[in-house]
Amino acid sequence: MARTVQLIRVSLLSALLACGAPAAHAQGADAPAEPDAAKDLTLRNAAIVGTASVLVAAYGRAKWWDEGFGGGFKTTNEGWFGKDTAYGGTDKLGHMFSTYASVRLLAPLFETAGNSREASVRLAGWTALGIFTAIEVVDGYSNNWKFSPQDALMNLAGSVLGVVLEGHPDLDDKFDFRLAYKRSSGSSWDPFGDYSGQRYLLVTKADGFEALRRKPLLRYLEFAVGYQARGFEQGGERRRDIYVGVSLNLSRLLADGVYGGQMHTTPVQRGAERVFELLQFPTAVYSSYSLD
């Protein structure tokens, strides 16, 4: 279901609110709580899950399932990253990134609601996975689409990666999964629909390693490997590329330039850091290697 990547729009619009909000110091879900406090926390959690589910359902009904449902449950084998697939695998990475980004944005919301850090990560992981899996199941009954096991597995992978990095700050300091976008030829500016313009990157940050953090210049560098497929949706020459590159760590630059070298100090800084973790800005140089 290639258009599921459009859900990133909803997730990223809430990034500053979700990540910039200060974590509440209310009773966590993993600790003993008074009955009234536990009930209030349950209601707040239900409100977050319910609101996210209703928004996605409404969007899906208007954009994806407008032709209704019928004909029983249908499945399709979309393949993975082959040259003969619909989008060269970019749509699969879009599913993974969408679920991953949702986990990273929902976790601070659950924490702000009063959950413990550990409970917030679990709730974010199950909520994101549940919503995206439900979308795939509904697809199976729709007239527009079919259930794709490949999409479902990439949703699972994104949720797992989000939970691992959100739940392990030491790994989160070292690694990011990002989306970079540059408008493709002949397309309008559409970061989440222009598949040929999308590049997905796994980034390693020198600042996350203590020995490298002490190096005055090296600490600001990041090293990335990425994947991009072009020409698939446009009917042009199909091309799949692997990228390796070096970029600047904008979170470390912000911390050293504005916050005295400290990370995560204010809502504004936390919000900016989360955006920098999810989106690759044009501060990188790459070498590409064609798979075709």
pLDDT digits (tens, 9 = 90+) for 49-82: 999 888 888 888 887 888 888 889 999 999 999 9
| Containing structural domain, residue 174 | 2-290
- Number of other residues whose CB lies within 10 A of the CB of residue 209: 15
pLDDT interval class at 29 (50, 70, 90): very low
Average pLDDT of span 163-183:
95
Q: Is the model's pLDDT at 30 over the cut of 60? A: no
pLDDT value of residue 64? 82
Q: Dihedral of CA 19/23/24/28: which sign?
A: positive
Average pLDDT for the chain: 87
Strand partners, 279: 179
Number of domains in the chain: 1
Q: Is the model's pLDDT at 241 over the cut of 90? A: yes
Q: How far apart are CA 240 and CA 37, in angstroms?
A: 53
pLDDT interval class at 3 (50, 70, 90): low
Q: Is the model's pLDDT at 13 over the cut of 80? A: no
Greater model confidence, 112 or 190: 112
